[in-house]
């Protein structure tokens, strides 16, 4: 009478049992060996699984400990300088080529790592005597009286500020404006009453 030896679950660590005449045969999961799959195979001794990393045997398998600058379950990916160091500042984009890096700087910045603020006032963008003020995010122009616009490029119509008082009529002239005053008023801006 042949007894089914597999009924007692002799195969360890997930191995599968096959009943054979007079005994049984275990088919082991990867990482185990032995008649009953009871021996943990040290995969680290069988092959260099971890490239430049350190292989550490674990129950039924292995894990790789990667050196700095390397990642992946088998230490197969090199972490680039740009990812590791993030050298580009002020929103610059880091690129790598031939083992070196360079930064693509956002507008307004320059330098190896985009740390130098480009002073837009050097080119004197403000017109008509406007004063340029540099800021980290750009610049602005403070316009002299009579001019407006981002670059002080627009001549302000002198009458737009309604300088004439007491119902006076404003007329733009070459050097400014002239108020035509109603009867009984006088002065540059019709501000005085006639006596």
| Phi and psi, residue 13, nearest 5° | 50, 40
What class, spelled out in words, does domain 120-155 have in CATH? mainly beta
Q: What is the reported pLDDT for 189? A: 95
Give the three-state DSSP class for 33: strand
What class, spelled out in words, does domain 158-193 have in CATH? mainly beta
- In CATH, what number does 88-117 get? 2.10.25.10
Cβ neighbourhood burial of 152 (10 Å; 0-12, 13-18, 19+): buried
Structural domain boundaries of the chain? 6-40, 43-78, 88-117, 120-155, 158-193
Is 54 within 8 Å of 64 (Cβ atoms)? yes
Q: Is the pLDDT of residue 159 over 80?
A: yes
Q: What is the reported pLDDT for 1? A: 67
Q: Which residues, in sequence order, are bridge partners of residue 141?
A: 132
Residues 6+ apart with CB under 8 A from 124: 132
For the chain, how big is the Rg over CA atoms in Å? 42
CATH 2.60.40.420 fits 43-78, yes or no: no
- pLDDT tens track for 59-100: 888 999 998 878 889 988 888 888 888 999 999 999 988 778
- Rounded CA-CA distance 187/165 in Å is 10
Domains 43-78 and 88-117 belong to one CATH topology:
yes
- pLDDT tens track for 98-131: 778 999 999 888 999 999 888 889 889 999 999 9
**pTM for the structure as a whole:** 0.37
Domain 6-40 fold is Laminin (2.10.25)
- pLDDT tens track for 24-53: 999 999 889 999 999 999 989 888 889 889
């Amino acid at each position: 009478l042949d007894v089914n030896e597999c009924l007692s679950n002799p195969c360890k660590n997930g191995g599968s049992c096959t009943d054979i005449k007079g005994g049984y045969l275990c088919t082991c999961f990867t990482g185990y060996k032995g008649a009953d799959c009871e021996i943990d195979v040290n995969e680290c001794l069988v092959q260099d699984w971890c490239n430049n990393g350190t292989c550490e045997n674990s129950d039924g398998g292995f894990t790789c400990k990667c050196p700095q600058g390397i990642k992946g379950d088998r230490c197969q990916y090199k972490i680039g300088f740009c990812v590791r160091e993030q050298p580009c500042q002020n929103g610059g984009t880091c690129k790598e080529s031939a083992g070196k890096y360079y930064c693509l700087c956002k507008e307004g910045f320059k330098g190896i790592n985009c740390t130098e603020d480009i002073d837009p006032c050097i080119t004197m963008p403000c017109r008509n005597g406007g004063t340029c003020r540099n800021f980290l995010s750009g610049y602005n122009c403070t316009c002299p009286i009579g001019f407006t616009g981002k670059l002080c490029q627009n001549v302000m119509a002198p009458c737009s500020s309604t300088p004439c008082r007491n119902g006076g009529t404003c007329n733009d002239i070459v050097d400014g404006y002239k108020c035509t005053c109603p009867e009984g008023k006088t002065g540059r801006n019709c501000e005085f009453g006639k006596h």
